[in-house]
Structures are given as C-alpha cells and as structure tokens.
Chains A and B, each alone.
Chain A
Amino acid sequence: MTALLALDRLTRRFGGVTAVDSVSMNVEGGEIRGLIGPNGAGKTTTLNLISGLTAPTSGRMTLVEQDVTGEPAHRLAQRGVRRTFQNLKLFTELTVLQNVMIGLHTNGKSGVFAAILATGKQRREEEMMHRDSLTVLETVGLVDQADRPASALAYGHRRLLEIARAIVARPTLLLLDEPAAGLNPTEAEALVALIRRINAQGVTVVLVEHHMDVIMAACSRITVLNYGQKLAEGTPAEIRANESVIEAYLGRAGFEERIVAYA
C-alpha cells in the first residue's frame, strides 16, 4: 500500500528546541487523519512542514511517491497541498470573492501582459475563476456575502472562508489547523459535516483540533503527538483506550496545558 503523504523521521529544530522530533507518519489517500496532542506538542509545526512554510531540519517527505522534502510552500500548493491557519490568515481588505479567487491562483496562467491587454484567454480565465469561486462559496454557505470585505465577516464565517479558499483549487491534501476553534457546538457540528463532504469528493484531510468530539466524529485514524514525538496512532477507539495518551492528556502535560490555557 502506498501512502499519499509519507513523513519519514521528519525533524525540525528551532535553536535548542526540537519542535518536531523524528516523526514518521503515513497518510493514505482518502482518509481523514486527526492530529492531536497537548499544547506545544508540535502539531502546527508539523502542518507547517507538510505545507512547506517551514523547512525540515532533517528527514524526508514524500507526496504521491515523489520526494518533496524542502520544497517551498508555493510549489507544494501547486502540487495540491492546501491549508487553513489556526489564527486565520485572510486577505482582510479584499472581498470574500477575491479571497477565494486567490486560492485559484495556481489554476491560472495569465500574467501582466494578458491583464493589460485583456486578451480573450485572460477574460475566460477570470470568468472561470469567478464561477468556480462562487460555486465553492455556495458549498460553504457564504455566497450571499461574496462582495463584502473579508474583515466584515463574523468569526465563524471567516473560518469557513479560509476553508473555501483552501478547497477551491480542488486540493489532493487539505490541512486544517484547528478549524473548530471559537465555534459554538452547532457550528462545530456543521463543520464536521462540511469536512466529510469535502473528503467525499476525494480530498485527503489532515485535521489538527482540540475539540475531541470533532476529532472523534470526523477522523478515520488519529495520530497523537507529545513533545514533538509521535506518541500513538490508531482508530478513534484505539486512541481513546490508549494508556499513554490518557496520561499525556490528563497527566503532567494535561496540567501544563491548562496552565497555558489560563495564562
């Protein structure tokens, strides 16, 4: 069995801190993989490594059987790796529609001259981007807000807009960094349904999340990180029963997490 995404002893050090320590992980095509762990476990750094925003210190990364270790983010995005961000990185001054159209950047070709001359090809491309973006906004339920500035959206809608921007180019691998953070239970439930719908269209998902109910409802397999290392991996049921996971969450690390949460 060949994995869509394979991490082989991937490591990232920041000065003296090893944020991700020799993590190996195989994500099969079509699955929804949960990535959990206490605060500081290296989940976001792992997503940064997979999306290319951070280069690994050592180790290898393979995507669809091709070695993509150290490739920059824009190249990986062209290969179909898209992501959302924990702290929402929208283009706030642009409209909702323009935000999504930027997600389609890799599907276009026209550059400076095509735009100045407004060639037929360029206009068809714009129309295509316009149409596809509206379709995706319809999927996430933001189509009536298409012409509003992204900064005018309510918080939950901003999260949806990030997802729309990430899926509009039909990625092969979608990385979601805490998409349920700040959502109420109803919104979180709708989010799970949306993630499942995206997945049903053939998008493999890696989901980092603190809401355990979201993880348990959405994921087929779960990888647990702790102190930058892989602690456990398995189905939701296996993870729930895993001794070391329980200890990591409720033991010393869980205590620290609560301290951080209140700080």
Chain B
Amino acid sequence: MLFFLGQVGRFATDQIAGMGRMFSFLMSALFLAFCRPAKVYLIIYHIKTIGVESLSVVALSGFFTGMVMGFQGYYSLRQFNAESWLGSATALGLLRELGPVLSAFMVTGRTGSAMAAELGTMRATEQIDALDSMAINPVKYLVSPRIIASLLAMPLLTAIFDVIGIFGAYLVGVSLLGVSSGSFFAGMEGSIVFHDVYSGFVKSISFGLIITWICCYKGFYAPPMATGVSQATTESVVLSFVFILVWDYFLTSIML
C-alpha cells in the first residue's frame, strides 16, 4: 500500500515538475527572444521553413476545406431558402474558426514535428551540449528565433488559408451550385466585421506560439536515443493538437 502511494506521489510530483519546466522553458525562450543580439538571419530562415515551406499544404487544405464548406453550407442553407447567405456562412466559419485551427494543424504536422525531430536529434548527438559548452545559449539560438518566426508566419498562413478557402467555397457555391455571385459577396460584406478577422488572427498568433513551444520543448528534452526522438515527435504533435483545441475553446469563449 505504501509502495503504491509512493508511486502515485512520485508520478504526481514528476508531472508537476514537468509542467513547471515546460512553463519556465517558454518564459526563458520568450525573454531571450527579445534580448540582444537579435538573430535576424535565423528568424528569416525559420520564417522560410515554417511559413514558405508550409504554403502549399496550407493552400491546398484551405482550398478543399472551402469547397467542402461550400457544399455543406449550400445544402444546409437551402432547407431554409437561405442560399444567398452561403458567402457569409463560409467566410465567418473560416475567419473565426477553421482558418486558424486547420492551418495550425497543418503547420504542426508539417513543421512542428520536424522541429521536435531536429532538436531531438541535436540532443542525441550532443549538438545542444556543444552549443552550451561554447557559451552559446541553446534556447536563444534554437528556440527563440523559431518562436518569433512562428508568431510572424502563422497569421499570414491563416490569412492565405482564409482567402483560398473563401475562393473554394465561391467556386462550389457560385460556379457549381448556381448561387448568385452578387449575393455571395454581398452577404459576406454585410456580416463580416473587423472583430471576426481580428479574433482569427489572435488565435493564429497564439497557436503559432503553442506549436513552437510544445514541439521545441519536446525535442529539446528528448531522451538521447532513437526511440526518444520518435517519442518526442509523436508527443509534440499530439500535445500540440490537444493544446490548440483546448486553447481555441477558451479564446472563443472570451472573444465571442
């Protein structure tokens, strides 16, 4: 009985210590991100890997999400003779919810997992220790530029997802299902306010932070072996997805 309680206690303290370490990792990465000297060349490089290289997958998923929304929206709205609201419904859904969340999922799958694997491999091959031993702060060198890059790239990717998604919905609704082009855009113009765009961007920025934080943390502290790297990669993706959805709920309830 005492052994069992001891195990439970150890598990609980390990979890709490892990959460504390994760939080302090974020704080130190954020603090170092704004300390001189700024690693501008690294920020630009990571904007390329997070932003530019995720562009095709974000655009493609945005396009098909928009087309699906076009179909689903049309068949739902037709029951109320409200097809003319298709533009408004799809744009609202994309701007406020699907754009930020799905583009964050795409970036997690494409870039977040790569971040965790890269840092995990660097840990296993002592490259992180090498930086540390050269008196170069590995968090400042490896994590902070990624955080800044993701804060800049995520809203742009989300904007691209939104625009291409709306285009996909337009294509299905107007060209395929015969909704009037005028009513598609008029409905959108009439119902979208700046707050919708703004809340989507706030979400995308915070999702960018979550992805980089979790994926870098998992990679940075990956056990130094092959299974450790694979485990870190899997955990980083799963945890990022869960955090994104949980945080999305809280943000939506605050910003609605």
Q: Do A and B come from the same complex?
A: no
